[in-house]
Chain A
Amino acid sequence: MEFFLVQTLNGISYGLLLFMLSSGLTLVFSLMGVLNFAHASFYMLGAYFAYQVSAKIGFWPALVIAPVLVGAIGMLVERWGLRTVHRYGHVAELLFTFGLAYLIDEAVHLVWGRSSVEYRVPPDLDGPLFTIFTSQYPIYRGFMMLVSVAMLVSIWLALTRTRIGLVIQAALTHPQTVEALGHNVPRVFMLVFGGGAALAGLAGVIGGNAFVTEPGMAAAVGPIIFVIVVVGGMGSLAGAFIASLLIGCLQTFAVALDWSLGGITVSQAAPVLPYLLMVLLLIFRPRGLMGTREG
């Protein structure tokens, strides 16, 4: 019971972190039709910026500054890169972000070296939050959940209750009409892309010290969030939410279990499970959990 509770909490906090990443990806995809391959690289940039800023002026300013910086980079990328390749179609956009991921990964090697950096949990958040039976639950895990939930609620409020949110939603389905009403749709796209990047950056700030900040972190988490997007159904936020929690819990439980099946323990098989889930889902429900049918 104790094991189950602790693992569920861990799984949910990891799942929420994954959702912070996949929500940005899904928002950008559903609005612009662009699948941002460099999304995980923005996540990594967020972690590295936070490491740099928190080394100078502390963790709390970093929590704000790093996502803003990543968001600014995202906007620059949209303005000077994506907008240029937009006329060549979606495949070219995907290829552009793919090349960008290469470039960001190499730039991180260039600036911060090839080994991991010491980005630690701040001392105010170090320690146990509460005790379940005999094991202590760290404050930082709770803080991660708090930040993700706060972020999700504010996105939801911003999208449904503010003027810019309404414009974004309208631009999703009727870009020409929105443009005719006098809104600058390309600028809306730029904001959305920057916003998606900033979300990834924020996830990097709180995920970088919970796990490890190293040049391989983008490659480690990138495929997982793409799997989440496929499993949840392309462009569906609700689907991404369910898939994130599902895969977060799946991986957390699988790593901790040591049941053996044909000479391989479940924890050894853990890295394969999300992909296996994707394959199974594609065989039995090709459009994903909440996706709409497409040709």
Chain B
Amino acid sequence: MKYQPLNLARWVLWSATAVVFLIAPHIFTKSFALTMMTQMGAFIIFALAYNMLLGQGGMLSFGHAVYSGLGAYITVHALNLVGKGSFYIPVPLLPLVGGLAGLAFGMLFGYVTTKRAGTTFALISLGIGEMVFACVLMFPGFFGGEAGISTNRVVGKPFLGLTFGPAIQVYYLVAFWCFACMAAMFALTQTPLGRMANAVRDNPERAEFVGYNTQHVRFLQLVLSSFFAGVSGGLSCINFEIVSAENVSAIRSGGVLLATFIGGVPFFFGPIIGAIVFIFFVVALSGFTKAWLLYLGLFFLLMVLYVPGGIASLVLMQLPVIRARRFGELAWPYCLAASASLVALAGLVGVVEMVYHLSDVSGGTQMALAGVGFDARSGLAWLVFSVLLAAGLVALRYALRFVSERWGMIQAELQAKAAA
């Protein structure tokens, strides 16, 4: 046993997370919020599992939905068999079935995909994803074709008095699994395998010289990641009570990549933020606008271009400044930048929504934004929104310069103080 000081901050953080999971449904009591949080829980597992590949193993996968989707398919069949009375597994343990299925498929496909690293790995994972998607449509007997397979989660005798009929019980089931998986995946980063995965990501050649087979390390990492992806698939199967071809599609694989990157690949907790933001985009925003995918894509591109560390890196960057009690000096520049980007965003949203409205004029050209009605063909509306967009972008440019000046000044002073 080596001596380890008690990492108090870590214990506080994990307990706080558990408390958030427990009390969240009592703060956001609307049923809409509850369904959203349940989806977030399942997606957090998926995004964290994905980051085991991208963040910790340096493997960019375009087909990770294969494992969560196939896990979901196996779970749905298991659930239906339980419903028929063929055998009995309590519903709370069903995600484990999904996880084991994910693990098995991870071993099968991982053997092929992990033969290569880097860009080639990305392409092979894409090919495997497309292959599985095509197979799902090819065997409608097992996969239910386009319509998918539906199920009923209220089966068998109640487990500890829980039927999993009400949404709140499903939420707590997802929350439990989410917390357990988070802890397990964090623990995995501390194991020798987790460390070797980092080594293989950073310098495969040296890892080979130390005596590790990089292909084997990648394979193990992928298999473990598929297990957690499968658990997430099993949970989403229990939540939605339907599994369709969409679950293994490239859209979902792309979605988890977007979510993970937006959250922050270099940090363990980054994908958690990413999953929350992503589900918010998908569930909440898609109800408001048809152009949500465009906004999501644009957001992602901006992150890739200017914030490669994701939202998590933005948050962590502030910590030293806050610790030095100098955040107040940055508040004003941040406010300016935020308001400038809000103006630009308003202009952008206006222009995009008008174009969308004009692409389908069957319902007339009248439209409304934020309660204000106007004609999508009127020159005035176009002028207003274009001016807003342009002015916002110009203002943002100056505001960002202001921010970086202030930021540079504070950093220089902090460094000078640290050196002294």
Contacts and interface: CB of A to CB of B under 8 A. Distances in A.
A272 B123 contact: no
Contacts of B116: 282, 286, 294
B113 to A, nearest CB: 8
Interface residues of B, number: 47
A97 B356 CA distance: 24
A279 B119 contact: no
Interface in B338-389: 352, 355-356, 359-360
A94 interface: yes
Interface in A52-97: 81, 84-85, 88, 90-92, 94-96
B254 interface: yes
Given A90-B119, A96-B305, A286-B116, A272 B124 contact: no
Given A106-B297, A113-B360, A272 B138 contact: yes
A113 B128 CA distance: 30
Size range of the interface on A?
A: 35 or more
A111 interface: yes
A111 B304 CA distance: 25
Contacts of B352: 110
B355 to A, nearest CB: 5
A96 B291 contact: no
A98 interface: yes
B115 A286 contact: yes
Interface in B113-143: 115-120, 122-124, 126-128, 130-131, 134-135, 137-139
Given A106-B293, A110-B291, A279-B112, A230 B120 contact: yes
B298 interface: yes
Interface in A226-277: 226-227, 229-230, 234, 264, 268-269, 271-272, 274-276
B150 to A, nearest CB: 24
B124 A91 contact: no
A295 interface: yes
B308 A92 contact: yes
A286 B130 CA distance: 19
Contacts of B128: 275, 279
A5 B126 CA distance: 33
B149 to A, nearest CB: 19
Contacts of A219: 250
B92 interface: no
A99 interface: yes
A226 B127 contact: yes
Interface of B: 58, 60, 62, 112, 115-120, 122-124, 126-128, 130-131, 134-135, 137-139, 204-205, 208, 250, 254, 257-258, 261, 291, 293-294, 296-298, 300-301, 304-305, 308, 352, 355-356, 359-360
27 contacts: A35-B119, A81-B301, A85-B305, A85-B308, A90-B118, A92-B304, A95-B60, A96-B304, A96-B305, A98-B62, A98-B254, A99-B258, A102-B297, A109-B359, A110-B291, A223-B250, A226-B123, A230-B127, A268-B138, A272-B135, A272-B138, A275-B131, A279-B127, A282-B112, A282-B116, A295-B204, A295-B208
